[in-house]
């Protein structure tokens, strides 16, 4: 293969549409925009416009809300913890908290309100877990495996007030 043999696949590039270049081009005079009206002119923004009728996005009622007091937890399942222990990322004898989970790759990043442990999956190793929250089923499963769960809510600094 040589440099002069390189070319795009057929259909990979299209020629630019040159409007207003005479009647023979098929895009002369009105440039493919039709005759008169709003869309024949520049600066048209009619998405959602229904000819003066109340648009559907204003006719339909609003639904739901966003809770500004919602807690933002990183979720860890027991199955993920067991998989990390099996592959050697977590030491079963050491204490496990948010920083250890991030360092071992179980969590991608720390979240605002800490870690919440849920009971999905099976846990065989007796782990000492410190978390911001845990479901009852997760606590029972960890204790049944010979471990312990300590709940210590992460302290979130209040937003700075303007003076």
Q: Which domain holds residue 119?
A: 74-151
What token pair was written down for 118? 């849920």
Q: What is the CATH number of the domain that holds 133?
A: 3.100.10.10
Task: Indicate whether 94 belongs to any domain.
Answer: yes
Dump pLDDT digits (tens) for 42-97. 988 788 888 889 999 999 999 999 999 999 999 999 999 999 999 988 888 889 99
Task: Indicate whether 59 belongs to any domain.
Answer: no
Dump pLDDT digits (tens) for 103-112. 999 999 888 8
pLDDT of residue 160: 62
Task: Indicate whether 109 belongs to any domain.
Answer: yes
What token pair was written down for 119? 């009971």
Task: Indicate whether 142 belongs to any domain.
Answer: yes
Percent with pLDDT over 70 in the chain: 97
pLDDT of residue 111: 86
Q: Whole-model pTM?
A: 0.58
**Cα→Cα distances 123→47, 53, 90, 97, 146, Å:** 53, 60, 13, 17, 10
**How many domains is the chain built from?**
1
């Amino acid at each position: 293969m040589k440099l002069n043999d390189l070319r795009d696949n057929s259909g990979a590039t299209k020629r630019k549409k040159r409007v207003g270049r005479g009647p023979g081009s098929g895009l002369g005079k009105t440039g493919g925009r039709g005759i008169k009206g709003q869309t024949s002119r520049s600066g048209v923004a009619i998405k959602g416009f229904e000819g003066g009728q109340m648009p559907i996005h204003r006719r339909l009622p609003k639904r739901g809300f966003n809770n500004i007091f919602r807690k933002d937890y990183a979720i860890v399942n027991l199955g993920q913890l067991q998989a990390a222990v099996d592959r050697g990322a977590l030491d079963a004898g050491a204490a496990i908290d948010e920083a250890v989970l991030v360092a071992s790759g179980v969590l991608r990043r720390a979240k605002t309100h800490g870690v919440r442990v849920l009971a999905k999956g099976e846990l065989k190793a007796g782990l000492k877990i410190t978390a911001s929250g845990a479901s009852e089923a997760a606590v029972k499963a960890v204790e049944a495996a010979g471990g312990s769960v300590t709940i210590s809510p992460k302290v979130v600094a209040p937003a700075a007030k303007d003076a």
